[in-house]
Amino acid sequence: MAPYQPLPPQRWGVLPTNRFWYHASLTPISLVFWAGAAVLFTCFDLFALVWWQQSLGWMVFWWVWGGLVERYTRKYLVRRRMRALAGPRTDLSEGLGNAALEAPAGDPMPVVERPGLPPPAPVPPRTPESKWALVQEVESWDLAYERLFGRGAGVAQFAFNLAFGLAIFHPSWFVKLLGLLALLTAARGVGAWERRSLGRERAALPPSSLSE
């Protein structure tokens, strides 16, 4: 099984995180976000905002609405998990309790195995994807920014997102195309760095772990 990686905390308790939305973008959670986005696009036409105002409005909307949706979704999922953990006792827990009561005091408690579940199959180690593939993990973006810009990673990522947003909302299709090419080039570079890092990690593993 893959190691558990908790989600990073929201900056200032409200800003959205890339890792959360990477997993939530294909779930019903995204419908709540896009419902608010539909209202925002209607306001663009209603107030006749120019392209740079629309770009800045979209970024503010993403920080505020996306962060609020993520915040309350996290709280809901935490409450749901706590209710599941505090739910009624299952047959397995009752079997363990009965075995503990029936076992003599001096003997070790017998192990009650859960029937009907086969042992988990071993998960093969990750292998580098095709060289034409782009970024495979959302964490690679943050790691690449930290590696290139150090403490200024947040400022660099904000500047890139701002420039890309201005390019996408610009009325010229040539500028839009340049913005998309810049995004694809950056994704291509981060994906290549990701595959090199994964290849070095795989080369550092002992041969026994690679053959399993």
For position 60, what pLDDT does the model report? Answer: 94
pLDDT of residue 57 exceeding 80:
yes
Label residue 184 exposed, middle or buried (CB < 10 Å: 0-12, 13-18, 19+): exposed
For position 96, what pLDDT does the model report? Answer: 44
Token duo for residue 84: 């599941």
**Would you list the DSSP string of 39-61?**
HHHHHHHHHT--HHHHHHHHHHH
Q: How far is CA 188 from CA 134, 174, 193, in A?
A: 5, 21, 9
pLDDT in tens, 6-17: 788 888 888 999
Cα gap 199→157, rounded to integer Å: 26
Instruction: Quote the pTM value.
Output: 0.68
Q: How far is CA 49 from CA 43, 57, 138, 192, in A?
A: 8, 9, 32, 39
For position 178, what pLDDT does the model report? Answer: 95
Token duo for residue 22: 């990477």
pLDDT of residue 132 exceeding 90:
no
pLDDT in tens, 87-118: 665 554 555 455 444 445 555 545 555 555 55
